[in-house]
Amino acid sequence: MDFFIVFLLIVVFLAILILGHEGGHFLAARLFGVDVEEFGFGFPPRLFSKKIGKTIYSFNFFPFGGFVKIKGVDVSKEEADKIQKNDDLKNDFRSQSTLKKIIIILSGVIVNFIIGWLAFSVVFMVGIPKAVYVRGTLPESPAFLAGFQSGDKILGFEKMEDFIKLIEDSPQKNIEIEIKREGKVLFIEAVPRLDDNLNKGVLGIELFETGMEKSGLVNSFKNGFEQSVNIMKLIALSLASIIREGDFSSVVGPVGVFQAIGSAKELGIPYIFQLLGLISLNLVFINILPLPALDGGRVIFIIIEKIIRRPINYKIESAIHSFFFLVLLFLLIAVTIKDVSRLIF
């Protein structure tokens, strides 16, 4: 049952994030009269499809992404030859103004930012139940010997102060503490040691507290927006630190994300929305990086065309985007293998 719920959450996450991003490109293109030849969920090979109007809607084998094939973007060799001869530019991306091109390209990340903003706004609306968790234990301490582990949730306490008071008031007494670990409720018996200097019981345990009060509707959207902006800044700082130090151990792929979804499910609905918002904002940041095959890289090509006052050779641009797409796909596979090996070993 747990596996089914996690699987369902993964499907919902992918649908919201992928359809939202690609839907942004799609709607912007149609708004400016540009034809969309295909709207795909996942990457080929194609499993099934249906053509409605001028657009093919497809469901593809690899579900970790999606795409929209906009007329005049990522053209084939034959299409490039046609465009180079200035043929068939009706309802074509290349016939749009620079501003419209940039809007079409950036509409996907705009929708992803809105998804992140809405997700965090929901978190502020519903609030996060207060809880006390174990961060760690001191070696050979009563907490260590009793079997407490990092991540254990202390049940029956909303504030650290209340739990600490119980410990301090129970020196050399056997106390039973109810915890939740990996979805299971357990009971741990511990005997706080008497600290002669403080004349109080100590357990040798480090705690942290979670929780957030509910906010009103307007404040929720305001706080959600501020949180989203702050997270974008934090992502930028984290990426800079990773590149500067060359430590990529914290980078996770689809497997790591799916693990996080499973953990969020255990914590409750607010954490699910929090994770959805975090993933969506990470997609915003990744996609606006100025690398070919990503939205940010495509905007760079558009700006270059504006500066040099002529189109870049379509064959060359398409080849560059295709090459970098393969590089990014290779990196995704490498990170996924790292995630799987981490699980196994």
Parallel/antiparallel/unpaired status of strands 205-212 and 153-154 = unpaired
The reply to whether 22 belongs to the active site is yes
Give the burial string for 283-316 (b: 16+ CB within 10 Å, else e).
Answer: bbbbbbeebbbbbbbbbebbeebeeeeeeeebbe
Phi, psi of 85 (to 5 degrees): -90, 10
3-state secondary structure of 290: coil
User: What is the rounded CA–CA span in Å between residue 57 and residue 170?
Assistant: 65
Query: What residue type is assigned to position 161 of the chain?
Result: E
The pairing of beta strand 200-202 with beta strand 205-212: unpaired
Q: How far is residue 319's CA from residue 70's CA, in Å, rounded to a whole number?
A: 17
Please report which residue ranges of 268-313 form alpha helices under DSSP H. 269-287, 295-308
104 neighbors 96 (Cβ within 8 angstroms): yes
Sign of the four-CA dihedral 74, 76, 77, 83: negative
The owner of tokens 């973007």 is: 73
Catalytic residue from among 22, 79, 176, 317: 22
Q: Report which of 103, 12, 24, 121 is spatially closest to residue 63, judged by C-alpha positions.
A: 12
Omega before residue 44 within 30° of 0, cis: no
CA nearest neighbour of 175 among 206, 154, 153: 154
Contact of 116 with 281, CB cutoff 8 Å: yes
The answer to whether residues 217 and 298 touch, using CB atoms and an 8 Å cutoff, is no
Catalytic residue set: 22
